[in-house]
Structure 1
Amino acid sequence: MSITGRLREKLMIGLRPTRLDVVNESELHAGHRNSPGTGESHFRILIVSEAFSGKSRVDRHRLVNDLLKEELAGGVHALALSTIAPGEALPKAVASHG
């Protein structure tokens, strides 16, 4: 299974999101000094989940990082997270495009 598939599967099982966008942005970082060049190293993830309700942004990111610890220790070099509880506003870039 691809890294993208593993990220999606672990987040779906662990957080039961109502929305999950996993965007591979690795091609935007090809050739950068620290980029591993694997084609699956840089991701932007939007998650809307009840699991985030009442939690700080740091606690939300810790939840995600714990679920993805194997991938973060291996091939994933960068992870940009938007962690939203139901009823919260989506980030402006997502709301205008998504």
Structure 2
Amino acid sequence: MSLDLLKQRLAALAPTKLEIQDDSAQHAGHAGNRGGGHYTILVESSQFAGKSTIMRHRLVYEAVGDLIPTQIHALSIRAYAPGEQP
């Protein structure tokens, strides 16, 4: 999967900061992986203000959920509102 597709999907959150790291090479041959990549995402968005960590993660999964499990096997999410410390 291209990181551009992931960025495109996360654009729905109107991020003020977005960092995506492809960790797939570290998990080559991982049991149960049917080809999807492993990614770490740091995203800052005003849409996260006042929301719990679980709600923030749900917003991210709503944006990329159809890519799981075919193109994304694992996703590590750090989601913050502007002004919060990552």
Q: Secondary structure at the match of 1:43?
A: strand
Unmatched tracts of structure 1, length 5 or more: 91-98
**Counterpart in the other structure of 1:65:** 61
Q: Which amino acid aligns with 2:5?
A: R
Give me the TM-score of the superposition, normalised by structure 2. Answer: 0.91
Counterparts of 1:68 and 1:16, CA distance in 2: 14
Larger Rg: 1
Q: Hey, which bits of structure 1, 4+ residues long, moved more than 6 A? A: none
Higher helix share: 1
Which of 38, 58, 82 is the matching residue for 1:86?
82
Query: Cα offset for 1:71?
Result: 0.6
Pairwise CA RMSD of aligned residues?
A: 1.4
**Count of residues paired in the alignment:** 86
